[in-house]
Chain A
C-alpha cells in the first residue's frame, strides 16, 4: 500500500503517539534515511549476525552515550554526527570494530522537521564513514518545554578481536603519551557558536569517527597499552583517570602540546585551559617507547592524525598525578577540575 507523502513541517505529540502519524513519521524521517535491512523489517529488536564474534577469544564491546548540545548545529558537525561519532569512538578506543548502533531520540514538540532531517542525514553519513549501521531505534516526543529541542542517545556494539586487551592498568613507566591532533577544537567551536561571546572565529569541531585511526595505530603498534576518547574534561581529565588506574604519574611537556592559535586565543580571552576543553575526535594513546615511532608514523599517515604528536611520558612518580613541564622549565600539576571550567571576570 502506498502511503501519502509525509509533509508535516514540525514535530507534534501525534508523532510520538504510537498511531499512524508516528508510523509515517518514523518511516519517512528515520528508517528511509538509515536505510538498512536490519532496521527496515521494523521488529522490536535488531537481529545481528555474530560476525567476528565467533572467532575464539573475541569479545563483545558494548557502550552507550546520551547527547545534548547547544547549539544543535555547530561548525564542523551537529548533534547527529556527534551521537554517531561519540559511540563509535567509545568502541574504537577499546580496540573494538564497531558492529551496529542504536538510536533513541527525545524530540520537543514543535521541532522543525527540515532541521531534524538534516541531523538524521548527518547521522547516516557519519555511520557510513564508520562502516556501521543504525539497526534499531526509538522515537519519543515530549511537550514543549520538557526538552531542549532534541536529545539523542546511541548505543553501540563492537567486536574486540582476540589478543587485544587495551587497559589503563597495562601502562608502564617510560611509555609515551600520544594525541592524534590539536586539543580543544570541539569545546572552543561550540562555545564560539553559542554566539553569546560575540566572537567571529573560524573554529571547527574535531567531531569525527576514530575507528580507522585506531586500526592504523593497533596495526603499527600492537603493544599499545590503552587509548581513550578525550571528550568532556579534555585530555587533562583522561590522563588523570589513566594515572589513577595505572598507579603511575604522567608528565607532559607544554611545548609539545598541539593547540591551534584560534583555540589558544579564545582560551586566553576567557581564562580557560585547552587541556580541559572537550574534543570529539581526539584520542589519547599510551604506547611502549619502542613502538612510539611506528605509532606516530601510522597516525601521521592517516587524515585524522596528520598533526599527531607525543606530548609526554609515563613516570613512576608522583603516583596518580599528572604534571607538566611549562615552556620555561617550571613545573605544575594538571589536576582534575572541580566542575566545568567557568569563564572568569577579568
Chain B
C-alpha cells in the first residue's frame, strides 16, 4: 500500500464528499445555521488548507481551528526565558526548527542566534543528547516543546542521560497536554462547537480513552483522525453521522495507528520523567489547570529551570504580554475566523507574527494567510 497516494485518491475522496453532503443535508445544516467541527491538532489545520478541503465542504460545514499547535500557544515570557538561557556563556540551545521564529517580548531565538547565542536546530531530543556528549565542556539545553506526541522522546533522552551520567544535558520543559485545553474550551460559554476531530499523533501515545469526557460530560462527538486528506474526510463523516443520529461517543478513524489505551511504554516513560504543573499559561487561552508538565524532582539534574534558576508560577510575573486587538483567543475557541481579526494580514503576517496563531505554519491564522489568502472574503 502506498501510504501517501492511496490516502489522497480523488475517487475515494469523491465518495466521502458525497457522504458528507448527504449527512449535512440530513442534519439540516446551512450556511446560516452551520455545524461547526473543530480540528484540535495543528497538523490537521495545515492539511485542511494545504489540500483545499475547506473549499470543498458543503456550505453547512464550518471548521473551527483548535489550539493544537504547540509552537503557537507558547506564552511570550517563556520564549524570553529560553533566550535568557541561550545567552548564558557556555550554553548550546538545541531546538526544533519551527520554534526558531516564535516571538518573545524581545525577539525570537532566530534573532538571539544572529546576536551570537549558540542556537542549533535538532530533529529529536536524542540528537541534543548526542550533541551534549560531543561537547562535554558545554551545557546543552533542549527546548522541550510539544504535546504528548513529542513527550516520550524527551522523556527517553532524560532517562538515557541519567543512565549514562551525561551531566551537561538538560531540558527547558514546556510540554503541554491536549485534554485540559479541550475541557477549557468546552467549559467556555462562548463555545459553539458541535463535534471534534481528535489529534492523531497525540492519540497514538495517549489512546482514545482520555477523550471520553468530551462525549460523556459534554455530549459532543469526537473522531480521532490521521493526517491524510481521506483520513480527515472520513473523520468528518463519522462526526456528522453521530450528530445526525443524536449520538456522542469517541470514535477512532486512525485505528491503523491508534489503540484505545495508547502506547503503554510511551506513557510509562512520560510518567517516569514528568509530572503536571498546577497550571500553565497558553498563549491566547490563558492559564489552564494541570495542562503543562515539569521535570520530576528525581531528575532535577536535567531540569534547566532548576539549573538556571528559572521558576514557573509564584516566582515570576506571568501577566500575558499580548498586543491590543489580537483575537487569537476567540479563534482557538472557534468563535471567530482568522480574517475577522482586525490585525490579520495588516500588522499580523507570517513575516511579522503578532498573535500566537500566525507564528507556526500549523497555526490557523498562518494557514489562512499562506493557503487561503485569495478567498479570505469568501471564507
Contacts and interface: CB of A to CB of B under 8 A. Distances in A.
Interface of A: 196-198, 261, 264-265, 268, 270-271, 273, 318, 321, 323, 325-333, 335, 337-339, 342-346
Nearest to A323: B374
A332 B360 CA distance: 18
B96 A330 contact: no
A328 B53 contact: yes
B49 A332 contact: yes
Contact of B13 (A271, A328, A343, A345): A328
B52 interface: yes
Contact of B146 (A337, A342, A346): A346
Q: Which of B49, B51, B127 has the most CB of A within 10 A?
A: B51
Contacts of A323: 374
Nearest to B371: A332
Contacts of B46: 271
Contacts of A346: 43, 70, 146-147, 149-150, 201
A333 B127 contact: no
B145 A345 contact: yes
7 contacts: A333-B372, A338-B349, A342-B98, A342-B100, A342-B101, A343-B123, A345-B71
Contacts of B145: 345
Interface string B307-350: 00000000000000000000000000000000000000000011
A329 B11 CA distance: 11
A344 B360 contact: yes
A329 B233 CA distance: 14
B373 interface: yes
A318 B374 contact: yes
Given A323-B374, A335-B369, A330 B71 contact: no
A333 B13 contact: no
Contact of B8 (A273, A327, A338, A344): A327
A329 B310 CA distance: 51
A343 B101 CA distance: 12
Nearest to B50: A332
Interface string B39-61: 00001001001111111100000
Interface in B121-145: 121-123, 127, 145
A36 B127 CA distance: 48
Nearest to B126: A198
B62 interface: no
Interface residues on B, range: 35 or more
| Nearest 7 CB-CB pairings of A with B | A330-B52, A342-B97, A338-B350, A332-B371, A343-B97, A346-B149, A326-B52
A329 B123 contact: no
A330 B51 contact: yes
A10 B242 CA distance: 71
B4 interface: yes
Contacts of A321: 373-374
Contacts of A328: 8, 10, 13, 51-53, 56, 229
Interface string B187-228: 000000000000001000000000000000000000000000
Contacts of B123: 196-198, 270, 343
Contacts of B50: 273, 326, 332
B56 to A, nearest CB: 5
Given A327-B51, A344-B360, A345-B150, A333 B374 contact: yes
Nearest to B146: A345
A344 B122 contact: no
Contacts of A326: 50-52
A271 B69 CA distance: 14
A196 B53 contact: no
A270 B371 CA distance: 19
A180 B351 CA distance: 31
Interface string B90-103: 00000011111100
Nearest to A322: B374
B95 to A, nearest CB: 10
Q: Which of B99, B149, B374 has the most CB of A within 10 A?
A: B374
B43 A338 contact: no
A333 B371 contact: yes
A90 B121 CA distance: 31
Nearest to B362: A344
Nearest to B358: A338
A344 B374 contact: no
Contacts of A273: 50
B168 interface: no
Given A264-B4, A338-B351, A327 B10 contact: yes
